Structure 1
Amino acid sequence: MKTARIYQRPKNAMQSGRARTDQWMLELESVTPQEADPLTGWNGGGDTSNQIRIGFPTLEAAKAHAEREGYAYHVVPAPERKLKLQAYADNFR
């Protein structure tokens, strides 16, 4: 049985916007461990299902898809937002 991880997309660290952070992602986890290629040394394997990421508008839709496809899943809760309140006048203290 395949296992899926459901999580909410994080905010892009390179930009201040929060676009698409309300989307939920379903990502399949690899069944077989990756092994090093003897020629190049890169990690890889024959299982390409861990490259699949599907976006959903709600958590319930992602859960319904996982149950319909027969995946065991676990939900990773979204991290709590921390607001750093600061004023321009604090630069001159």
Structure 2
Amino acid sequence: MSRHRAIARISMPPRSAMQSGKAKSGRWILTFTPSEAKTIDPLTGWSGSGDMQSQLRLSFSSQEAAEAYARANGIRYEVEPAPAGSVIKPKSYADNFRYGRSENWTH
């Protein structure tokens, strides 16, 4: 089976530029690396391949859950560390007027 030859990547995707809150920011994603190159269809000019696993994108609540799924299904995997800016430091508007603050004022 080609399922056992493919290598999966477990990562936490960064927030999009359009996202300012914490929604969907703590999810871990398991994706498969492509096992074959894409080819161009001579009739339509569209690119495609017979690799169905590259279309899969599985979502998990934690890195441990994603790793457990990969181990249980015999999938080789690599883990990418979480992005550096994934932790949001809570701030309040009152911090802008705090006595003795060292950072610049923000709106």
Query: Which interval holds the TM-score relative to the shorter structure?
Result: 0.7 to 0.9
Measured after TM superposition, the shift of residue 2 of structure 1 is: 1.8
Q: Could you say which residue in structure 1 is the equivalent of 2:51?
A: 47
Structure 2 vs 1, CA of residues 38 and 75 (structure 1 numbering), >3 Å: closer, same or farther?
Answer: same
Kindly provide the CA deviation profile for residues 37-71 of structure 1, in whole angstroms up to 9, marking residues without a partner as x: 22232221111111111111111110011111111
Residues 73-92 of structure 1: pairs in structure 2 closer than 5 A: 73-81=77-85, 86-88=104-106
Q: Secondary structure at the match of 2:84?
A: coil
* Misfit runs of 4+, over 2 Å: 39-42, 85-89
Kindly provide the CA deviation profile for residues 3-47 of structure 1, in whole angstroms up to 9, marking residues without a partner as x: 101001321211211211111011122211111222232221111
Greater strand share, 1 or 2?
A: 1
Aligned partners of 1:11 and 1:19 also within 8 Å:
no
Structure 2 vs 1, CA of residues 81 and 39 (structure 1 numbering), >3 Å: closer, same or farther?
Answer: same
Q: Secondary structure at the match of 1:81?
A: helix
RMSD: 2.2
Flag structure 2 segments of 5+ consecutive residues without an equivalent. Answer: 89-102
Structure 2 residue 74 is the aligned partner of structure 1 residue 56 = no
Structure 2 vs 1, CA of residues 87 and 68 (structure 1 numbering), >3 Å: closer, same or farther?
Answer: same
Q: Within 1, Cα distance between the matches of 2:22 and 2:45?
A: 37
AA in 2 matched with 1:52: L
| Bigger radius of gyration | 2
Q: TM-score, normalised by structure 1?
A: 0.80
Query: Alignment length, in residue pairs?
Result: 88
Percent of aligned positions with the same letter in both sequences? 40
